[in-house]
Amino acid sequence: MIYTKIDFNTKTILITGGAGFIGSSLAFYFQENYPGATIVVFDKFRSGRTLSNGNLESFGHYKNLLGFNGVVISGDINDAEALKNLESSYKFDYIFHQAAISDTTVTEQDLMIQTNVNAYEELLKIAVKHKANMIYASSAATYGDSNRFEVGFESPNNVYGFSKLMMDNITKKYIKSDYGISIVGLRYFNVYGAREFYKNKTASTVIQFGHQILAGNAPKLFEGSDKILRDFVYIEDVIQANILSCNPKESGIYNVGTGKARSFQDISDIVQKEFETSYETQYIPNPFVGQYQFFTEAKIESSKEFLGYEPRFSLEDGIKGYIPEIRRIFESEVKNAK
């Protein structure tokens, strides 16, 4: 679907984290709708390296890019030489910065700040030099324990949320300096959809419940999941927000969600309905109490006003559209891994 009048066919587009969930989805959006565009994917790609929580250091996976015809560069945004090569090799019109440590359970504060905060400002310097509009991934984790989900009411309860808030603070400084480019930070709420499978344990509960059911097991939820409410947003609406951010009425930080909080129990029930199963849900203790958001609901009035964003998918619609891909991934990846 075309969301803007901009003709990207003549543009050069950088997507950091382009082998990840949202980055690869953006890469294919441009490839399918603007075949004349030059699309550069920059990603660290996964290795065997893990962090102290046991999760992979990078979730970028080549399979997210199967069928992609653009430029693919393996590199780390913390590598000054790699960024210098990007800056000198291309003249970017748009930068979609999706690369980050996005695992909220990571405790390495030094690496989190270096990757999510310091590297972002280095990319902003490239954007200013190239006169490229910057669109980057912020997060609803900035709100943490806040009861107001709008800019100015942040209360992060983990280092990931803190790092994203520091990114947003840098953005405000650059906007105030007026470098002649637009800068838009998108605070993603709980995103789900195709190409998230390779996030492993950090993939949404939608696909996790789906695969549990397809394996013949009851879905497992944290205790009290009927009272844990989040704003779940489908990947297609996240892509919409990114594309609209290429030409905002005003630079700034905007929420990307549906504006409607739903429970994890709702997800389990909807997935079971789609698969026509009726397993009795299994409940397990929540090990993340203290750094876990028990309620999120995006205020999207400013996103509508300044971006033209309008969520198109309810939770029911998004899950229904996602089911065939959940089945495909189960058959091609999960079964084969056993």
* Alpha helices in the chain, H assignment, sequence order: 21-33, 80-89, 109-113, 119-130, 159-177, 205-214, 235-244, 264-275, 301-307, 315-329, 335-337
State how far the Cα of 105 lies from the Cα of 107, in Å rounded to an integer. Answer: 6
Number of neighbours of residue 173 by Cβ within 10 angstroms: 10
- DSSP-derived secondary structure for 73-108: EE--TT-HHHHHHHHHH---SEEEE--S---TT---
Q: Which residue is it, tokens 């397990």?
A: 284
Tokens of 29: 């959006």
Work out the burial of residue 289: count CB atoms within 10 Å of its CB; fewer than 13 is exposed, 13-18 middle, 19 or more buried.
exposed
One of 94, 160, 234, 254 is an active-site residue; which one? 160
One of 199, 234, 309, 322 is an active-site residue; which one? 199
Q: Which residue is it, tokens 């499978």?
A: 197
Sign, CA dihedral 156-158-162-164, equals negative
Q: Is 199 a catalytic residue?
A: yes
Report the residue count for the chain. Answer: 338
Q: Is 160 a catalytic residue?
A: yes
Partner residues linked to 311 by β-bridges: none
Tokens of 201: 């344990």
State how far the Cα of 168 lies from the Cα of 166, in Å rounded to an integer. Answer: 5
State how far the Cα of 180 lies from the Cα of 304, in Å rounded to an integer. Answer: 23
Q: What is the DSSP letter of 117?
A: I
Residues with Cβ within 8 Å of residue 218, at least 6 apart in sequence: 212, 279, 280, 281, 282
Residues marked as catalytic? 160, 199
